[in-house]
Amino acid sequence: MFHFLQRKKLKKVDATVFAQLMYVDVSSDRWDQENLTKRNLDFSVDSIHYIDAYATRLAASEAGATQLRNHFDSFMIRLGAYIGEVIKRNSQQDFAWYDFDSVYHHSAKLANVHKAVSGEIVLYSQARDEVLFPFSVVRRFLEGNSPYPSFLAYVDEVMEEHR
């Protein structure tokens, strides 16, 4: 019940390498080759337009939908890490990547969060004791049950809250 009273050391995670896979490990598809580049995916808020277009293209084609089904976790990790890294780099907060379990035992704000996300990587601001779940947002979006119409809508909302 009062798990946060048993404070443990926060365990940082480097999710940047997963985010970089968005432009390092790109399919041979022409659109992907032309748009998923280091130049376009520069971790700016505007670069989320490319991520939205990519996710829309995946879901819209039969081949993309099949790839998405067969490699769901890989897509979720890459997209979630990229979106989270954009938030981390562009917000006015001290967000850093942490293992969910270490934050769970550190923050009182997670008292009512179901541990189903155990093992997940989260963005956590120690100064504000705030947790963001970009991987969960991506998972829900890709499954078709997101409260956001696009990834950009999510990023814009988070950025507005942290100005």
How confident is residue 147, by pLDDT bands cut at 50, 70 and 90?
very high
Helix, strand, or coil (residue 99)? strand
The model carries a pTM of 0.91
- What is residue 1's predicted lDDT score, i.e. its pLDDT? 47
Whole-number Å distance between alpha carbons of 55 and 31: 12
Long-range CB contacts for residues 141-146, cutoff 8 Å, separation at least 24: 141/55, 142/55, 142/59, 142/68, 142/72, 142/75, 142/76, 142/79
- What is residue 41's predicted lDDT score, i.e. its pLDDT? 98
Whole-number Å distance between alpha carbons of 155 and 39: 20
How confident is residue 22, by pLDDT bands cut at 50, 70 and 90?
very high
Identify whether the C-beta of residue 51 lies closer than 8 Å to the C-beta of residue 137. no
How confident is residue 141, by pLDDT bands cut at 50, 70 and 90?
very high
Instruction: Give the pair of three-digit tokens for residue 101.
Output: 């379990």
